[in-house]
Amino acid sequence: MGEITTKLLVLGGGPGGYVAAIRAGQHGIDTVLVEENRLGGTCLNVGCIPSKAMIHAAEAYHAAVLHAGEASPFGLSAGPPTLDFPRTIAWKDGIVGRLNTGVASLLKRGGVKILRGRGTMVDGKTCLVETDTGPERVRADHVILATGSVPAALPHLPFGGRVISSTEALSLQKVPATMAVVGAGYIGLELGTAFAKLGAKVTVVEMAERILPAYDAELTRPVARRLGALGIEVLLGAKATGLSGDALDIEVGGEPRKIPAEVILVAVGRKARTQDFGLDRLDLDMSGPFIRIDERCATSMRNVWAVGDVTGEPMLAHRAMAQGEMVADLVAGRRRAFHKVAIPAVCFTDPEVVSAGLSPEEARAAGHEIRTGLFPFAANGRAMTLGAEDGFVRVTARADNHLLLGIQAVGAGVSELAAGFGLALEMGARLEDIAGTIHAHPTLGEAFHEANLRALGEALHI
């Protein structure tokens, strides 16, 4: 058995782990990164990146179909498109592959040693890694646990065969004729919408009374409208009960019903990956199903840190990256704390949804007196030219000093507005700060400007 002694061991090569390792390498810290599969974790391999590739391909195909059907509002017509789906998948895999390679070279440039294989913690300073060339024992002063999360399964719909998770949904060999999506969270809706655009007959089954239950109703309404327009049937207050024949059994309003489904995508959330890596031997304090961390991502064991999905919600790659970067700084002896005003969240649904900071209801629940401003894209010139007038930008600010508390948007392409939203909140902007900033015309960002103006009672274009 080989022995490796290092300053820092990072267990898991997802966004939290690899960013921590890159930063640690830049600090000159002797670092070993253990990854069983491909670098980049869920996000890069079976999450954010491949799903966005699929969504993009599906949108392009869907647009071509519309134009072929002479539904083009600006007079474009084209012949009926065909889609070589295996090539779509190959294209997506190509992007993932390039990013895999990119992460590996960044790690290499930082002097990080990558150990391929399954790592199991023996104690708070030792990890046993089963590599292709035999076991390695890694001893480290510091350990960062970045083991991520896995798709949550339903007990009566275990994964396997026709029942797939988002991971398999991104690698289907053909577009299914019918697809049932269990769960109307962002994962289910993103993929369900993509497959509907690719030609599948999609039915969404959601237990809650509305889609995207994590977001407020006002924000999700344009998404619900669009799902209807795309012919996606959304069954709310519905429960998947099992499989029969080539259908999904559900219960909706007390009535059993069969949803024909060639493929059943279960997207009911993700759970922290706390099994199979020796977590029990560390006996760390837990916070429910997650590893408990403090504001520095320190666990209950000295010099054992945890970042990313394994530490709980929000399970977002950018949160994990920020945590990983911070922990590397901490290991390097810097003083750091995770004091963030906002962690923006984006749904790449159609239209897209962005939320940063508090919603109006959350702000009120937190005891703030608030004023809000909402600007619809229907009054935004750029949105019109994109043929995407549904949606809005909404801001929430404290009534007394106009400090922005939260910014949400729904609309085509609004994910790119997340940068400005996050910056505004993180810098402590007031309504007047955004209102006093020139926003380039004609862009969707003007809606952000106008929402602030409107909250001040000074809207110009509405």
Partner 1 sequence: MGFRIVKLPDIGEGVAEAEVSAWHVKVGDVVREDQPLADVMTDKATVEIPSPVSGTVAALGAEAGQMLAVGAELVRLEIEGGEAAPASTPDAGVAVAPEVAKAQDAASGQSAAALVPAADGLEPAQPAPAPKPAAAPKPAEPPRPVAAKPAAPAPRPAAAAPSSGPPRPSGEKPVASPAVRRRALEAGIDLRQVRGTGPAGRIGHDDLDAFLNAPPEDAAPAPAGRAPRTGVEEIKVIGLRRRIAQRMADAKRRVAHFSYVEEVDVTAVEELRAALNQRHGASRPKLTLIPFLVQALVRALPDFPQMNAHYDDEAEVIHRHAGIHVGIATQTPSGLMVPVLRHAETRDVWNSAAEVRRLAEAARNGLAARDELSGSTITITSLGALGGIVTTPVINRPEVAIIGVNKQVMRPLWRDGAFVPRLTMNLSASFDHRVVDGYDAALFVQALKGLLETPATLFMEA
Task: Let me know: does 79 contact 72? Beta carbons within 8 Å.
Answer: no
Q: Binding partner 1 by CB under 8 A: which of 426, 437, 439, 443?
A: 426
The structure tokens listed for 225 are 């409208």
Sign of the torsion formed by the C-alpha atoms of 35, 38, 43 and 47: negative
Contact set for partner 1, span 333-392 (CB under 8 A):
334-337, 339
> Between 170 and 434, whose beta carbon lies closer to partner 1?
434
Q: How far is the CB of 421 from partner 1 (least distance, A)?
A: 15
Residue closer to partner 1, measured from CB, 162 or 336: 336
**C-alpha closest to that of 193 among 231, 165, 153, 162:** 231
Would you say 123 or 432 has its CB closer to partner 1?
432
Cβ atoms of 11 and 144 closer than 8 Å? yes
> How many C-beta atoms lie closer than 10 Å to residue 442's C-beta?
12
- Supply the minimum distance, in Å, between the C-beta of residue 329 and partner 1: 10
Hey, what are 317's tokens? 């790659």
Of the residues 73, 80, 160, 457, which one makes contact with partner 1 according to CB under 8 A: 457
Shortest separation between residue 371's beta carbon and partner 1, angstroms: 11
One residue of 158, 387, 428, 442 binding partner 1 per CB under 8 A: 428
Pick the closer one to partner 1 by CB: 118 or 336: 336
Q: Which of 56, 441, 449, 461 is catalytic?
A: 441
**d(C-alpha 183, C-alpha 206), whole Å:** 5
- Asked if 7 touches partner 1 (CB under 8 A), the answer is no
* Shortest distance (Å) from residue 404 CB to partner 1: 9
Which residue lies nearer to partner 1 by CB, 75 or 457? 457
Q: What are phi and psi of 70, to 5 degrees?
A: 60, 35
Residue 430 interacting with partner 1 (CB under 8 A) = yes
Task: For the segment 103-142, give every residue that binds partner 1 (CB under 8 A).
Answer: none
| Among 9, 27, 23, 28, residue whose Cα is nearest residue 141 | 9
332 touching partner 1, by CB under 8 A: no
> Closer CB to partner 1, residue 412 or residue 418?
418
Q: Are 325 and 20 in contact (CB under 8 A)?
A: yes
CB of 21 to partner 1, least distance (A): 21
Among 433, 437, 443, 462, binds partner 1 (CB under 8 A): 433
Q: Indicate which single residue of 432, 437, 439, 443 sits in contact with partner 1 (rule: CB under 8 A).
A: 432
x/- contact string, 183-202, with partner 1 (CB under 8 A)? --------------------
* Contact window for partner 1 (CB under 8 A) among 155-163, 214-222, 349-357, 427-435: 427-435
Q: Residue 119's closest CA among 3, 18, 36?
A: 36
How far apart, in whole angstroms, are the C-alpha atoms of residue 311 and residue 314? 9
| Cα-only R_g, the chain | 24
156 is catalytic: no
At closest approach, how far in Å is the CB of 401 from partner 1?
4
Closest CA to 239 of 263, 261, 213, 208: 208
From 7-15, 68-76, 98-106, 396-404, span contacting partner 1 (CB under 8 A): 396-404
Query: If you write DSSP's letter for every residue of 144-205 in order, what string do you get?
Result: EE---EEEPPBTTB-SBTTEE-HHHHTT-SS--SEEEEE--SHHHHHHHHHHHHTT-EEEEE
Burial class (CB in 10 A: 0-12, 13-18, 19+), 387: exposed
Name the minimum Å distance from CB 264 to partner 1: 43
Of 143-151, 152-160, 212-220, 394-402, which segment contacts partner 1 by CB under 8 A?
Answer: 394-402
b/e for 145-180, b at 16 or more Cβ within 10 A? bbbbbbbeebeebeeeebbbbbeebbebeebbebbb
Active site residues: 441
**Which residues are near partner 1 by CB under 8 A?**
334-337, 339, 398, 400-403, 426-428, 430, 432-433, 456-457
